[in-house]
Structure 1
Amino acid sequence: MFFTYLRRELRRRRKAALVVASGLALGIALVIVVNSASAGMRQAQGKVLESLYGLGTDMTVTKAAPPPSEGGRERPRFNFDAQDGDETQSSDIVMPQGFETLASSTVGKVADQTGVAGAVGGLSLSVLKVDGEFKPGEFAPRENTSGGGGGTGGPQGEVRGGGANFDVNSYTVYGTDTAHQDLGPLTSSKITDGRTFETTETDAEVAVVDSAYAKEKKYKVGSDVTIKGTKFEIVGIATADSGDASANLYIPLKQAQTLSDSKDKVTTVYVKADDSQQIAAVKSAVQKNIPGTTVTTSADLADRVSGSLSTASDLATSVGKWLSIAVLIAAFVVAGLLTMSAVTRRVQEFGTLKALGWKSGRVTRQVVGEAMVNGLVGGALGIAVGVAGAYVLTAVSPSLTAEVGSAAAGPGGGGGGMIRAGGPAGQAADKAIEIALTAPISAATIALAVGLAVTGGLIAGAFGGWRASRLRPADALRRVE
């Protein structure tokens, strides 16, 4: 009887039922789109942080920047030997990023801290290469116009022409521990040609080159690249997952230390925690037990991500959230008022049913049942519209930018493109990264939509049931003509 009457009343009032369901569907669809967009932005920010940290890295340890009064290393100088005639000159300056390094023993100290699952050191380098040629001037004697043989004490001529033509090229190099390649910037890239380092190549003259840099310089597997007089064979081409590489070249750590005169030194220690919930405790332990270091977690780095990605994320998190709540409240209230209005128009019907023996509870259950069906229909429509909206957002896929500000810069700053290889606490300029936005639909989002549909039906049913419970048989008799 209950379901028969329910089906008949819903069919008879399908226009009113569709209005109620549509209002709920609108609010539910908006929640799905906003939640999906927020999830996509969180994924995008995760990609930014992942490319900066390296896969699996929870925090990085770098040397604390010294006070400005203490100064830093001497700035780089180029020295060329003067030669007679046209002479080609070339000079490479290889320097650690930010000029600040830690002893390699720091890696072991960090690994020994409670809660640390693994620690790997790396050396981030900036290479400045200058090559070109000097062209000496030519001596041109003065012409004798006096007719008297000229004086003996004055200048006999002048130097004309000459000069220099030099090209300056800068690129970045990351020294990786080939025996422990599970942490660090190289893990955020995929080998697309050739191979990665072998664990035995701790001091080999081999290199892995970023695909974009390889295309620019026309490098391929088997090519040679020379750094400060040392020739490295390219054994692999790596493509960054985020589209923006951590470094132009990757070489074994010992080779990087030799080239930069940084024996037993690293710029960054990449750390993996035993438990992601204990990252803050591990950070505190490292800072306490290893003085003179700066520990940066992904949460710290996220605070420095700005640009349109951050703006859109903040908008979706704040404005989007409150807009969704406001629309949902409005949808629930409207659904409740429409249901209560429909009950009011059915005074004669419900009064008659009560006169025939229906109790108030049975009438209330009938109204709540109708409202619940309207809510479930609205939920189904809302899920369909929301999923379609998320799909359109993913298909359009607008590009957003994420700008990662540098930490407190060390003396002399750092290599402009090295913030990734140096880690989040590296001393570098802001880095702009472009990310394509997606709007993934998760099972949790669908479950939320179903919960909202049920909640909307219950609220509408509560309004209508309250009104129906107050009806009396006498109300129906007053309206009988």
Structure 2
Amino acid sequence: MFFTYLRRELRRRRKAALVVASGLALGIALVIIVSSVSSGMSKAQDKVLESLYGLGTDMTVTKAAAAPGSGSGERPKFEFDAKDSDDDETQSTDRVMVQGFQTLASSTVDKVGKQDGVAGAVGGLSLSVMKVDGQFKRGEFKQEGGTGQGGGRGPGGGGSSQPQGEVRGGGASFDVNSYTVYGTDVTQQDLGPLTSSKITSGRTFRTTETNAAVAVADSAYAKEKTLSTGKTVTISGTEFTIIGVSTADSGDAAANLYIPLQRAQTLSDSKNKVTTVYVKAADSQKIDSVKATIQKNIPGTTVTTSADLADTVSGSLSTASDLASSVGKWLSIAVLIAAFLVAGLLTSSAVSRRVREFGTLKALGWKSGRVTRQVVGEALVNGLMGGVLGIAIGLAGAYAVTAVSPTLTAELGSSGGGGGMRGGGLMGGGGPGRQSASKALDIALTAPVSLSIILVAVVLAVAGGLIAGAFGGWRASRLRPADALRRVE
């Protein structure tokens, strides 16, 4: 009887049911779209941060670069051999410098790894290389056509004792090429910037190549310099064989070339030194406490977490994320509340128009509880229909956002803690390589819809139906059979 009456009443009041369901659907669809877009923005920010410090890294430990004028910095100096012959011979020299930060002792890596809450720690050395090469060319002396006055060249000739003319041509032409090198611990390759790149050609390092003259080249740099596996590059007089080419998952790579840490320390005269310690926390919910522990037990260092770095992300990605998390969230909540209220009021209004019907049913023996259950059942079905419609609209909206994939810009600035989480390559500055005060990355926005969002939509649909049913049920429970008799004409 309950379902038969329910089906008949919903069919008879199709327009009213559709209005209630549509109002709930609008609110639920907006919640799905805003939630999926916020999720997409969160993933986009995670992608940006991973491109900076590497997959799996929760924080970095560095030592801020010395202040300008402190005397610790050294200007690059280049020396060339002076030769009397072979004027056209190319002169070439390069200078390898630590980039971005002051160095830390390699023992710091072990100290960090022993702190409570640390699951893993690995050191890295960020370098910049400035290479200068070119040629010196000797000028030619061009003598004037005649001799001195009187034609004499001797002391008594009355003429000049020096030939008349000028030096023409000569000079020097040199090219300056700078690039970045990252020294990676080949025995622990699960942390650090190289983890944010995929090997697209060749192979990565072997754990036995701790001091081998091998290198992995970033794909963009390899394309620029026409490098490939098997070719060699020379860094400060040492030839390195390219064993692989890597491609960054997003944004720029941490360095142009990756080499074993021990080789990088030798090239830069930084034996047993690192610039950055990459740390993975045992519990992602306790990153702040791990940070505090490291700062307390290892003084003089700067600990930067992914949350700290996220605060430095600006641009349209940050603006859109703020809008989605603030304006979008409150807008969806306001629309949802309005939809619930409208559904409740419409249901209550429909009950008022059915006074004679419910009064008659009570006169026939229906109790107030049965009438209330009937009204709540109808409202619940309307809510479920609104939920189905809202999920369909929400999925369509999220799919449209993903299909369009609007491009947002993430502007990455200095974190204020002595540098970012890339070992100085992008965030810290300090070397003449690729680093800059900020860097813009373009990120394509998606709107992934997770199962949890769908479950939230179902809960909201049921809640909307129950709220509307509560309005109508309360109204229906107050009706008396006498009210129906007053409406009889």
Residue aligning to 1:43: 43
* Residue-by-residue CA offset, 1:268-313 (whole Å, 9 max, x unaligned): 0111122222222221121111121111111111111111111111
TM-score by length of 1: 0.94
Equivalents in 2 of 1:398, 1:170: separation in Å? 34
- Asked if structure 1 preserves the Cα contact closer than 8 Å seen for 2:352 and 2:475, the reply is yes
- Report the secondary structure of 1:207's partner residue: strand
Deviation of residue 9 (structure 1)?
0.2
Deviation of residue 243 (structure 1)?
4.7
Counterpart of 1:88 (choices 73, 86, 90) is 90
Deviation of residue 69 (structure 1)?
5.9
Deviation of residue 156 (structure 1)?
2.7
Equivalents in 2 of 1:419, 1:47: separation in Å? 14
In terms of mean alpha carbon deviation, does 306-315 or 463-472 score higher? 463-472
Residue aligning to 1:55: 55
- Asked if structure 2 preserves the Cα contact closer than 8 Å seen for 1:53 and 1:423, the reply is no
Residue aligning to 1:124: 126
Deviation of residue 32 (structure 1)?
0.3
The amino acid that maps onto 2:29 is A
Equivalents in 2 of 1:102, 1:231: separation in Å? 27
Give the fraction of aligned pairs with identical amino acids, expressed as a percent: 78
Matches within 5 A, 1:407-422: 407-408=415-416, 420-422=422-424
Equivalents in 2 of 1:265, 1:149: separation in Å? 72
Residue aligning to 2:448: 440
TM-score by length of 2: 0.92
In terms of mean alpha carbon deviation, does 347-356 or 62-71 score higher? 62-71
- Asked if structure 1 preserves the Cα contact closer than 8 Å seen for 2:232 and 2:239, the reply is yes
Matches within 5 A, 1:54-73: 54-68=54-68, 70-73=70-73
Matches within 5 A, 1:340-351: 340-351=348-359
Equivalents in 1 of 2:236, 2:16: separation in Å? 80
* Residue-by-residue CA offset, 1:414-473 (whole Å, 9 max, x unaligned): 9xxx97343787335212222221111111101110111011111111111122222222
In terms of mean alpha carbon deviation, does 375-384 or 432-441 score higher? 432-441
Equivalents in 1 of 2:281, 2:447: separation in Å? 30
Instruction: List, as ranges, runs of 4+ consecutive aligned residues in structure 1 with deviation greater than 4 Å.
Output: none
Equivalents in 1 of 2:239, 2:228: separation in Å? 15
Counterpart of 1:353 (choices 358, 361, 375) is 361
The amino acid that maps onto 1:363 is V
1:105 is the counterpart of 2:113: no
Counterpart of 1:430 (choices 421, 427, 438) is 438
- Report the secondary structure of 1:209's partner residue: strand
- Report the secondary structure of 1:348's partner residue: helix
* Residue-by-residue CA offset, 1:333-364 (whole Å, 9 max, x unaligned): 11111111111111111121122222222211
Change over 3 Å in CA distance of 1:474–1:47 after alignment to 2? same
Change over 3 Å in CA distance of 1:67–1:208 after alignment to 2? closer
Residue aligning to 1:114: 116
Equivalents in 2 of 1:136, 1:315: separation in Å? 65
The amino acid that maps onto 1:433 is L
Equivalents in 1 of 2:82, 2:409: separation in Å? 48
Equivalents in 1 of 2:417, 2:71: separation in Å? 12
In terms of mean alpha carbon deviation, does 23-32 or 148-157 score higher? 148-157
Deviation of residue 65 (structure 1)?
3.5
The amino acid that maps onto 1:275 is D
- Asked if structure 2 preserves the Cα contact closer than 8 Å seen for 1:104 and 1:265, the reply is yes
Equivalents in 2 of 1:248, 1:91: separation in Å? 19
- Report the secondary structure of 1:148's partner residue: helix
- Report the secondary structure of 1:120's partner residue: strand
- Asked if structure 1 preserves the Cα contact closer than 8 Å seen for 2:398 and 2:449, the reply is yes
Change over 3 Å in CA distance of 1:409–1:303 after alignment to 2? closer
Residue aligning to 1:18: 18
In terms of mean alpha carbon deviation, does 294-303 or 93-102 score higher? 93-102
- Asked if structure 2 preserves the Cα contact closer than 8 Å seen for 1:294 and 1:425, the reply is no
Deviation of residue 8 (structure 1)?
0.6
- Asked if structure 1 preserves the Cα contact closer than 8 Å seen for 2:351 and 2:475, the reply is yes
- Report the secondary structure of 1:72's partner residue: coil
Change over 3 Å in CA distance of 1:99–1:381 after alignment to 2? closer
- Asked if structure 1 preserves the Cα contact closer than 8 Å seen for 2:148 and 2:160, the reply is no
- Report the secondary structure of 1:113's partner residue: coil
Residue aligning to 2:324: 316
Unaligned runs of 5+ in 1: none
Unaligned runs of 5+ in 2: 153-158, 430-434
Q: How many residues align?
A: 475
1:239 is the counterpart of 2:247: yes
* Residue-by-residue CA offset, 1:68-97 (whole Å, 9 max, x unaligned): 563431121223334443342222121111
